Amino acid sequence: MAHILTSPEDISIAWLESMLRTTASSVAPEIKDFAISFTRASTMASIAGVDIVYDRPAEDMPASLFIKTAKLNAKGVPTGSGRKEVYFYNNLTGVIKPGTVPRCYFASFDEDTKQYTIALENISATHDNAAWPEEHYFDQCCLAIDSFAEIHAAWWDHPELERIIAKRTADDCRNGGIRARAMLSRFLDAHKNSIPKEYRDTMLRYNDVCDIVDERYLSNRNISLVHRDAHFWNFMYPKNRTGSVRIIDWDSYRIDTPTNDIAYYMAIHWYTPQRHRYEWRLLERYHEKLLAHGIKNYSFEMLIDDYKLSVLSSLFLAAAQWEMGLDETTIWRPNMQHVCEALNDLDCMEAVNRLRGTF
């Protein structure tokens, strides 16, 4: 079995053959050569593209791979990310229709060293993600929504879901709420002179009622596997605008209300005019796709209520991004604006008052 790489520089023919033979047949062709087509560092990983040359035609073997290894911090120690993504590819993709997430050839994490390696199909020849801050095209959004529906439906109230992913308890939710409120207080104090009053008032008003999000989650129905980092750039879109989207970066998932991903995709990242153009049509499409995948007893009205609570669940995101040191101009401040405007525009407080105590 292939070992875990400490960096893309450790890639060799022997390692590639050992890794690929765990997923290919014993008569797989030998590798004659390989080339590193690119290397780059993301926030949490070191990434390399690897082009492979075989000694004979290899229809079932990858011509190119996308390899992720642990990124080291300033002290030369792995950050510890990658554990969940490795678990995802090894344990959670079996019920998901092929083509919705990248095919994985190898995924392993070392608990002692915190090193990991993930080898995925390199689909850059046929797929690409959008360039920041490109306008979101409606046809691309439809493909992303379709992929959401595919994955959410596959794990919707699945009997195995809580066995393979730890579910948060009522105490977990309560303690998380205490921490989130304290974080929001620090955030508002730190920016008391720069956050517009309308946004400050919105955050304080909804801060008092956000426990209903946990109430909905703890109802333990209509829940699924949720990506939780579903921004527009974590999707690989087909270059020809047809076919399926691949959703990437599966290191933040958990069991939750499925519309959290939809709210993250739209309400958090879109200014109000774009949200008004696309939001309702995409919610209708998402619901239609869920029904087509066999989800029952989940009306469009229930979806809209869940969506509004999912927008509310995003209340603390800007504060969290600020504490993480993320950029104010391009990340946390626009996200704060988007969420506050969506909360008021959608009249999420009406849903809060109507749904309180009904779950």
CATH number of the domain bearing residue 138 = 3.90.1200.10
Same domain (yes/no): 304, 190: yes
Determine the pLDDT at residue 132: 60
227: in domain: yes
Same domain (yes/no): 112, 138: no
Q: Which of 52, 86, 121 is the last residue of a domain?
A: 121
Q: How many domains does the chain have?
A: 2
Same domain (yes/no): 159, 286: yes
3: in domain: no
Same domain (yes/no): 222, 309: yes
Determine the pLDDT at residue 25: 59
Nearest to 127 by CA among 243, 14, 207: 243
186: in domain: yes
pLDDT tens, position by position, 173-205: 999 999 999 999 999 999 999 999 999 999 999
Residue 42 identity (one-letter amino acid): S
Domain extent for 333: 130-355
pLDDT tens, position by position, 108-149: 999 988 899 999 999 988 998 876 655 668 888 999 999 999
Same domain (yes/no): 115, 136: no
Q: Which of 70, 90, 121 is the last residue of a domain?
A: 121
Same domain (yes/no): 179, 261: yes
